[in-house]
């Protein structure tokens, strides 16, 4: 999530990374529940996974409650997605955490402050 306490709001993003293609960031709204997460997967991950890796790819996420719910596990099984198990709140060797760190550094370089969430959104899209 991107946001600093300067009155400009915040953004919640979902990002997927692939070794050979840059995939656009997805902006989320509101509190995320399992159903929202599954919609994000259905709208973003499953279509791009099929295009980029066919049936030979592995998905990695942590054990956050929306990721580890029974309904999300069932959703992933229904799409026949291979999932790499990962503990909650563990950033060790978690590639997306490195991407988020690089993206955050770029977005907030030179101590940039955003007074409008829309300006922050445009900067995140461009980063």
Give CA separation, 108 vs 2, 64, 77, 101, 118, in Å: 10, 26, 38, 11, 15
Helix (H, G, I), strand (E, B) or coil at 105: helix
Residue 55 — φ and ψ, nearest 5°?
Answer: -105, 5
pLDDT of 98 reads 81
Q: What pLDDT does residue 55 have? A: 73
Structural domains in the chain, sorted by start: 2-126 (3.30.420.10)
Is the four-CA dihedral 7, 8, 10, 16 of positive or negative sign? negative
Predicted pLDDT at 117: 84
Concatenated DSSP letters of 23-88: ---EEE-S---HHHHHHHIIIIIHHHHHHHHTT--EEE----HHHHSHHHHHHHHHTT-EEE---T
pLDDT in tens, the chain (127 residues): 454 445 556 788 888 888 777 788 899 988 899 999 999 999 998 888 877 777 778 888 888 899 999 999 999 999 888 888 776 666 666 777 788 888 889 999 988 888 888 888 898 888 8
| pLDDT number for residue 6 | 53
What's the pLDDT score for residue 70? 97
Q: What is the pLDDT of residue 114?
A: 85
Round to whole Å and give the CA distance between 28 and 13. 6
Do 76 and 59 contact (CB within 8 A), yes or no? yes
Q: How confident is the model at residue 7, as a pLDDT?
A: 56
């Amino acid at each position: 999530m991107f946001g600093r306490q300067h009155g400009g709001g915040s953004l919640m993003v979902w990002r997927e990374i692939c070794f050979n293609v840059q995939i656009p960031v997805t902006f989320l709204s509101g509190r995320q529940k399992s159903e929202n997460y599954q919609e994000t997967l259905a709208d973003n991950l499953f279509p791009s996974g099929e295009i980029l890796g066919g049936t030979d790819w592995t998905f990695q996420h942590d054990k956050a409650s929306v990721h580890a719910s029974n309904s999300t596990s069932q959703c992933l099984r229904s799409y026949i997605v291979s999932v790499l198990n990962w503990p909650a709140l563990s950033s060790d060797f978690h590639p997306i955490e490195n991407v988020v760190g690089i993206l955050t550094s770029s977005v907030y370089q030179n101590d940039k402050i955003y007074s409008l969430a829309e300006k922050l959104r445009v900067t995140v899209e461009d980063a």
